[in-house]
Every structure is written in structure tokens, then in C-alpha cells.
Amino acid sequence: MAKFLTSRAENYSQWYNDLVVKAGLAEGSVVRGCMVIKPYGYAIWEKMQQQLDKMFKETGHVNAYFPLLIPKSFFSKEADHVKGFAKECAVVTHYRLKNDPDGNGVIVDPAAKLEEEYIIRPTSETIIWNTYKNWIQSYRDLPILCNQWANVMRWEMRTRMFLRTAEFLWQEGHTAHATKEEALEEANKMIRVYAEFAEKWMAMPVIMGHKSETERFAGALDTLTIEAMMQDGKALQAGTSHFLGQNFAKAFDVMFATKDGKQEYVWATSWGVSTRLMGALIMSHSDDNGLVLPPKLAPLQVVIVPIYKGLEGLEKIRQTVAPLMAKLQAKGISVKFDDRDTQKPGWKFADYELKGVPVRLAMGERDLENGTIEIARRDTLTKETLPLEGIEQHIENLLEEIQENIYKLALERRSKLITKVDSYDEFKQLIETKGGFFLCHWDGTPETEARIKEETKATIRCIPFDSVEEEGKCMVTGKPSNRRVLIARAY
Amino acid sequence: MAKFLTSRAENYSQWYNDLVVKAGLAEGSVVRGCMVIKPYGYAIWEKMQQQLDKMFKETGHVNAYFPLLIPKSFFSKEADHVKGFAKECAVVTHYRLKNDPDGNGVIVDPAAKLEEEYIIRPTSETIIWNTYKNWIQSYRDLPILCNQWANVMRWEMRTRMFLRTAEFLWQEGHTAHATKEEALEEANKMIRVYAEFAEKWMAMPVIMGHKSETERFAGALDTLTIEAMMQDGKALQAGTSHFLGQNFAKAFDVMFATKDGKQEYVWATSWGVSTRLMGALIMSHSDDNGLVLPPKLAPLQVVIVPIYKGLEGLEKIRQTVAPLMAKLQAKGISVKFDDRDTQKPGWKFADYELKGVPVRLAMGERDLENGTIEIARRDTLTKETLPLEGIEQHIENLLEEIQENIYKLALERRSKLITKVDSYDEFKQLIETKGGFFLCHWDGTPETEARIKEETKATIRCIPFDSVEEEGKCMVTGKPSNRRVLIARAY
């Protein structure tokens, strides 16, 4: 088989970039830091969206849409938010072009300068809370459980497709509650929705936990995260859910009348996942032959490649597999019969491997005679020849098995790369040699956190929900610590 | 019943604005000309999107995503396009804010000026054709049948919610073909998809036709349109499909090798509908009590309002309607039991009328005794009491009947307001007194078209596909004409 990709062992980073482009997921664009999401990549994103949207609606949320542009002054209203967000962003200053008097195309019309500049949303807390102000008068108006599917823009200096791009697609949930308890419960509920999606749909195990104060979302009192391990042992923050307290309600003066008639500030959460999940999906399962997609998110689950001589042979195969295709479709399984005559079967095999189609069927003349079909699974790259009769049930089971198997492989890989370490020297050595996730004691101070980051490029990914209480000493300062935190280098 | 709205007779325009806000569809925002699409409005848009997306996929299209920002210079590349588009638009000139040294929030960092400004896409032909350049080498790469769901921005001077907003949501199809015939067929196919959607889903009759040269999309050789009549007799352009010829291929140098190995420019189409359809939907069917929604696009199709005394009474009703709700849901009909104790039944009735829920059921104590239920339809505002037993089949039929009925009403209204006119004087009089659509002879010149527009505020909406060939004289100039065109005032 022709090798399309740099191997992971050779250059992991290059392998990723190759794969994104060659599998037709995305490509760079002329716009700095922005990508084009190509049809095959977008089809996977759509599958993700559909399932997430379903889960949001099942948990009582509704969708809405808020303006792309945010008045500049809004960013100054919440003190921590402005520090975190309002800096590297796209600024709209004018609203008109005019013909260049010198005849060189168009120029910005200096007369069309905005009184106040607008920022392309890097996130929408400010514009949404300014809107919620008009929606909320009394406890009867609460909770508000809105989600928005949207594009956002952050002028990142170093970009990588899907992982960090200037423009990206995401969803942002923004909820408003009458009590602190309810907001905390919401933030908690949604990080669990993300974890369930990651594990059951993306087949990607994640560790849930609290972010350290330093790593919190700008304006949040608590940030919950799901952290996944990529095949190179690095961590990827795959989704976050923020308890915002009353910060945005205070910044935008959003109060409500309680049942007792008192005026109180509203409690808030926000939570989001983005096209970054595409990067996480790719790096969780794929191999040197290309993508490995979990069947639940694969745009095409089964492909049938005919191996034939002449149009008559092709027609025989087509007629033989037609009932199978109908049966698979009736089970809700997507299937394609690839009868292109512009490509040879071997080329098609390699291409479907590159694209991560979970199950590939091939039928040749001998199969026609024997009533058999060849079935190949993408995850293990194994194949066998089976009777055509009843194969649809086998395929249905196999898709489930593949879904489970790639989760299991990812979990096993992660288990081998989670290390408990108590000495900073050992940590510094192992982060270079072994890599992966480390469970260590930390004294809880931003100073120690900053030192670890500076000296090892590793960061505190989270304080895991399931971290057990135990007496310990910070591996750096020796100060007391009562639970281990998760530390790793990260994307 | 409390009247929430200005009546249509009193002030049609105010009625529309009231309805959009009070039915919870959308509201204005602090961002000039931009709206917030509220959850109920967005739920209708989602229904539209789902159906349109299904129809696009059934006709062989795939989705993709292209950058929000477009380099300024791209607009100058296609000569007609720049005239039509690159003027009133949002211009990004800087990429960073910094703290105001005077301590007043944040200011634009003058050091972060972009070398070339970016424009927030008003439409994406330029960036997409610049991308297609890399996707197309040979006839094997054609056709490309991509669609994008996205937000776009045009700095409109006068805006109205849904009908004309600075930012709006839409889909834009962009296809690339090897031959002129194929591109023409595609443009034609997609305007028919839009017409089918308008008529079968929105219950909105439309007239398909060609735009005059003056009204064509900037850069198109032919623009096909669907024109709908609103209740006030004005036209609304609800969707367009453009045959772009080789204009964009030439502007962005997109050539392909034919089967014979020749290099030729690629043929293009683009087509789009937007959240403007929401305005069309509202103005097609709604009345002085509120929205009237076609059942196929109603987020909630059936609501059940219990009329009870005490919690025990409520429980009895709940248990009595529970099997009905299960049966409706099994039929794919959405249904809600509104057990809120914060509002009285009369208030709920008015609110569901305002929101356009097609079928409202009410059950009181007498119904419990008699085994009956009251059923009210939104379109006719009639109600009757029927046996509960077997009501689900009646409801299913009724939803279909309502869908057909509101289409029929819209069609009848339109039929009465389409007038053939042969004298310009008569036209000038009737456009003021009767309004609606006019079928007139026109000499085909932009000069006459401009004169009609200036003198009557009416425009040539289209040259209808079904316009029959007939000898005639232009109603303005008396010059020969061989078919009638559709003229109306428009949104």
C-alpha cells in the first residue's frame, strides 16, 4: 500500500498535519490562522453536533442566537474577563469600503469610522448577559437554559488546524439561575454530559476535574474540565464548564425578584466544546494508515468495493450486494457501494483506510461463486471471508465491537501512561522520558504552579473529581497537600 | 382575550414588529442592525434548516465551512461583484486591544494594525472560489457540490428584524461544474428545491422566475428567484439561485483539464436562503391574535391545557391525557402538557395563540366525566368537543388539514391580488389602491425598469418561468414585448 502519511514515530506533529489534510478534513486558508473545514471533516463535526444537541435538549436546554459583534466597552465591564479575553481579537473599526481614487480596487472609507469599535466575539458572556438583563425580572423567569452554536474568533499567535485556530466553531451554553446551588449543579451536569459524549461517542476516555485558579476561565469562580490523553501522551482539554457565580450579573446589573420580593443578583454558568474535539478525535485513535473513526461518528460506516472485470461483472456484484445494502440501511447503518471506474480497488482500500471507514467489504468473482464476502475492520486492519448470508447482523455487531475496542485501546494506553510521582526530580526526568499524565502532590499555590510550568512545560490539568484525600507533601516545595492533582504537558 | 398586538388593518408594519417581539421570536440588540434570535424563533429556524439540509443532501450536496473573514483585495477581483457587495460591510482593521493608559477600560492597540484589512463575509463566492482553485485540477474533481450554513454581515442602513438585518444566518450553496449545461441545470434544480420547501413546508405559494438584469446578483449571468406575496400584497424575495457562468473561475483562475486534456474555466452556481424566510413565514399566515405556523415547522404542534381545581383534579387530567400524549409522540407529533400553576388557562390560551401552536386541547372536569376533550385549531380559531377515544387519529389528520388550509388561504389571497394590467396609468392607480402583484408587458430595458421603480416604488420581481409567450406592448413605452413580467412593491 502506498504510504500517504509521515509515521507517528517519525514525527507525531507532522503525522497529525498530514492526516488532517490528506484525509480531507481541513486545510489552511489565506486568512491568517483560519482553516477551511472540508466536507469530510464537516460531516464528522455535524455528527458530533447532532448528538451533543440532542443531549443538550434532553437536559432541558434550548438554542438561540446572539450577535457576532460585541461593543468594545462590554469587555471592560467584568474585571477578570477583560484580562483574559479582550486582548488578541479581531476589531471592526469601519463599515464601508469605497473605490480607490487611484483605481486600485477598493479602500476603507475613512468617513465610515465607527464611534465605538466592535469586537468579533471571542466568547459571548458579555453580550448575552447584557441581553438577559431584559429577560429576567422575577424568579418566574428563571432558570434560563440557552445554548448557541456559533463561530468565534481569537487572534491566536500560533495556530494548528482544529486544535487552535483563529476562527473556530463551537457551542456555548449560558444559563441563569436563582440560586448558587442550582448553578453549581448545572455546571456539574454539563461537564458530565461532555464526559459521556467523549467516552460513549468519541470513544475517548477523559478525566473530569476542577481547574486550578490560574487555569480558570476569565470571570469564573470554578472551571470544570474534561482532559483527554492523546497518543503522544500529551493532554488535551476537550471541554469546560464554568460556574460564574454572580460576576456577570453584577457586571451587567441583572437582578431578579425572589419569591419573597427581595432583589438578588442572578447566578450563572457557561460551558462549551468546539471543533477542537475534531483534533482530539483524530489524535485519540488514528494510526499510520490514516484516520480511525468510532462508528458512532463515522459519516460512512460501511463501504463495499467491487472487484470486477467488465461491466457485466460489476452488475452481478451490484445486484448481489443490493439486498445487503437495504438491510444495513434499515438498521440505520450508512453504506456506500463504490463503483467508480476511475480508481483501482487497491487505491480505494488505501483511501478508505485513510478516511477511517470502520468496515470495508470487498466482493470479487470468487465471492460471487462461493456466496461469500470479504470483511475488513479498520481498527485492527484484520480481514476475513464470511458467508454473505446473514452478514448484516455480523456487521451490526462488529460496529459496536469496534466502538468498544477503540475506547478500550485508548483507555489501556492512558492507564500505562498515568504515573504517581512524589519527587520533583523524578517528575522532571519522567516527563521527558516517559511522558503522559502524572498524579502529584501540589501545595495549591500559583507560584509553585508557575514554577512547574516554567521548568517543565507541564501544567496542572485538573484536580480530578475522583482524587482521593490523602496526606502528602508538594513534590516541589514539600508543603502539605491533601490530594494529588493531574499534571501533564498539553495541547 | 387580551389583545397583545396592533392589528394588521391599523398598522401592518407595527403588527409585524409587535408580533416578532411578543411571540418571542427575536428582539433588537445593542449592536447596530443586529438582532437576537430568541429560543422560540430559533426553534422554527432549526426546523427549516433540518428540512432544507435534508433536501440539499438528497440532491447530492455536502456541507463545508469557509472563513468568516475575506481579504479586502478579493472583492476587487470580480468586477461586477465589487460593485454589488464590497461597499457597506464590516471592516476588520486591527487584531488587538490594550488597556487604556488613562484607566478607562480598553482601547484599540494602534500597533496591531493589519497589513491588509479583512471584511466580514457579506457572501462567500470570493473566498470559496479562491479555495476551489486548489481543489480542482481535472474533470474528475467535478462537480463540487458544497453548501455552507453560516452567518453573514451587510451593513444595511435600514433594518427590520428577519427581513433585513446587518447580520443574518443563511446557507449558501457554491457549486463548480465542467459544463455550462450542468451549471444551468444545477441553478434550476436548486430554485425548485426552494420552491418545494416554500410551498410544502412553509405553506407559502411562490412564483419562480428570472430576475431582470438590473436585479441580478452581483457577478451572476442569471438569477433565479422565488417571490412570495405577503398579506399586505407586497412581494418578498424568499430565495435565489444564481448561474455565475465562468466569472468567478476567471477572477480566481480556476481551470480544469477536460477529458481531452484541454484547459477550460469552471462553471459556477450559488444559491441561498436566509433567516429572511422567518419574516416571510410570519407575514404569510399570521393574524391579529398572533402567529399562525404551518404544522410542519411548528416547534410545538399540540398543547394540552388542563382546567382544574386543586392538585387532585390536575392529577386526574394528567393521567387521563398521558396515553394520548404517548400515542401522539409515537406518531412523531410534538405535544406538551402545560401544568404551570403560575398562569390561568385563559392566559395560556392567548399565549399559545400568540405563539401559533396549531392544535390546542383543553380538558376540564366535565370532559373528565364525559370522556371528551376540547380541540381548537389555530388557523380557523374554531373549536369543538370530541370523544377522547381515538382523538389521536383526528389530530394527525387535523395537522395535515391545517397545513393544507393555510397554503390554500395564502394561494387564494394571492390569486385575488394578481392583476393583468396593460396601461401604465391604470398600473399607477392600482398599485396604490389595490396593491399586490401585476403582470405587465415591459420592453426589457433597464431605463424603463428604473422609471417604473422611481415613479411607483414597484420593481420587476421576475420574469416568471410559466409566463406564456404573447404579443404585447410595454405598458410604459409602448415598445414591443413578448411576455408579461411580474411587478410589485417589495420588502
Q: Is A79 on the interface with B (CB under 8 A)?
A: no
Could you tell me which residue, A236 or B106, shows the higher pLDDT?
A236
Q: B73, B106, B168: which to substitute to probe chain A, counting the most A Cβ within 10 Å? A: B106
CATH homologous superfamily for the domain A418-488:
C-terminal domain of ProRS (3.30.110.30)
pLDDT at A133: 97
Percent of the residues in chain A that have a pLDDT greater than 70, as a whole number: 99
Under an 8 A CB cutoff, do B153 and A68 touch? yes
Tens of pLDDT along B409-468?
999 999 999 999 999 999 999 999 999 999 999 999 999 999 999 999 999 999 999 999
Residue closest to B141 by CA, chosen among B128, B132, B129: B132
Distance CA A329, CA A323 (A): 10
CB-CB neighbors (< 8 A) of B151 in chain A: 68, 150-151
Could you tell me which residue, A422 or B84, shows the higher pLDDT?
A422
Mean pLDDT across the stretch B18-28? Answer: 97
Residue closest to A19 by CA, chosen among A1, A38, A32, A34: A38
Residues 113-132 of A with CB under 8 A from B: 117-120, 127, 130-131
Distance from CA of B270 to the nearest CA of A (A): 17
CATH homologous superfamily for the domain B300-400:
Anticodon-binding domain (3.40.50.800)
Domain ranges in chain A with CATH number 3.30.930.10: 12-66+123-285
Cell 463495499, located at residue: A304
State which H helix or E strand residue A92 sits in.
Answer: strand A88-99
Distance CA A127, CA A83 (A): 17
Q: Is B88 on the interface with A (CB under 8 A)?
A: yes
Q: Is A253 on the interface with B (CB under 8 A)?
A: no
Chain mean pLDDT for chain A: 96
Tens of pLDDT along A99-112?
888 877 889 999 99
Q: Give buried/exposed letters for B102-128 (b at 16+ CB in 10 A, else e).
A: eeebbebbeebebeebbbbbbbbbbbb
Window from A89-103, B163-177, B180-194, B239-253 with minimum mean pLDDT: A89-103
Under an 8 A CB cutoff, do B43 and A30 touch? no
pLDDT at A85: 67
Distance CA A301, CA B153 (A): 37
pLDDT at A136: 98
| pLDDT confidence tier of residue A86, bands split at 50, 70 and 90 | low
pLDDT at B189: 98
Q: Could you list the beta-strand ranges (E) of B259-324.
A: 263-265, 267-274, 302-306
Mean pLDDT across the stretch B143-167? Answer: 96
Residues 342-361 of A with CB under 8 A from B: 342
| pLDDT confidence tier of residue A56, bands split at 50, 70 and 90 | very high
By residue count, chain B amounts to 491
Window from A100-104, A181-185, A482-486, B452-456 with minimum mean pLDDT: A100-104
Domain ranges in chain B with CATH number 3.30.930.10: 12-91+125-285
CATH class for the region spanning A12-66+123-285? alpha beta
Distance from CA of A155 to the nearest CA of B (A): 6
Residue closest to B421 by CA, chosen among B437, B432, B433: B437
Query: Is 3.30.930.10 the CATH number for B12-91+125-285?
Result: yes
pLDDT at A1: 42
Contact A340, A397 (CB under 8 A): no
Check residue B197 and report its DSSP letter.
Answer: I
Mean pLDDT across the stretch A175-196? Answer: 98
Domain ranges in chain B with CATH number 3.40.50.800: 300-400
User: What letter represents residue B173's amino acid?
Assistant: G
Q: pTM of this prediction?
A: 0.96
Q: Please, which residues bridge with residue A363 across strands?
A: A306
Would the pLDDT of B279 be above 90?
A: yes
For domain A302-398, give the CATH number. Answer: 3.40.50.800
Mean pLDDT across the stretch B50-54? Answer: 98
Distance CA B450, CA A114 (A): 33
pLDDT at A82: 73
Would the pLDDT of A486 be above 80?
A: yes
Contact A266, A302 (CB under 8 A): no
Mean pLDDT across the stretch A273-285? Answer: 98
State which H helix or E strand residue A91 sits in.
Answer: strand A88-99
Would the pLDDT of A2 be above 60?
A: no
C-alpha cell at B203: 405553506
pLDDT at B3: 63
Under an 8 A CB cutoff, do A97 and B91 touch? yes
Q: Is B430 on the interface with A (CB under 8 A)?
A: no
Residue in chain B nearest A76 by alpha carbon: B105
CB-CB neighbors (< 8 A) of A63 in chain B: 39, 42-43, 46
> What's the ipTM?
0.96
Q: Is A136 on the interface with B (CB under 8 A)?
A: no
Domain ranges in chain B with CATH number 3.30.110.30: 418-488
Distance CA A185, CA A266 (A): 15
Between the CA of residue B361 and those of B73, B294, B311, B358, what are the distances in Å? 59, 17, 19, 10
Q: Could you list the beta-strand ranges (E) of A248-290.
A: 255-257, 263-265, 267-274
Whether the bond between A143 and the residue before it is cis, its omega within 30 degrees of 0, is yes
Residues 178-207 of A with CB under 8 A from B: none
Distance from CA of A52 to the nearest CA of B (A): 15
pLDDT at B342: 85
Which residues are within 8 A (CB) of B349 and not within 5 positions of it... i.e. 6 or more apart? B1, B305, B360, B362, B376
Tell how far CA B80 is from the center of its chain: 25
Q: Could you list the beta-strand ranges (E) of A217-301.
A: 222-229, 235-245, 255-257, 263-265, 267-274
Contact B142, B262 (CB under 8 A): no
Q: Could you list the beta-strand ranges (E) of B158-221.
A: 167-177, 206-210
Under an 8 A CB cutoff, do B36 and A71 touch? no
Could you write out the DSSP letters of every residue in A197-233? IIIIIS---EEEEEPPTTTS-TT-SEEEEEEEE-TTS
pLDDT at A75: 85
Would the pLDDT of B477 be above 90?
A: yes
CB-CB neighbors (< 8 A) of A71 in chain B: 30-31
CB-CB neighbors (< 8 A) of B75 in chain A: 97, 105-106
Tens of pLDDT along B290-338?
999 999 999 999 999 999 999 999 999 999 999 999 999 999 999 999 9
Largest CA distance in chain A: 82
Would the pLDDT of B1 be above 70?
A: no
Residue in chain B nearest A133 by alpha carbon: B29
Which residues are within 8 A (CB) of A380 and not within 5 positions of it... i.e. 6 or more apart? A405
Distance from CA of B98 to the nearest CA of A (A): 6
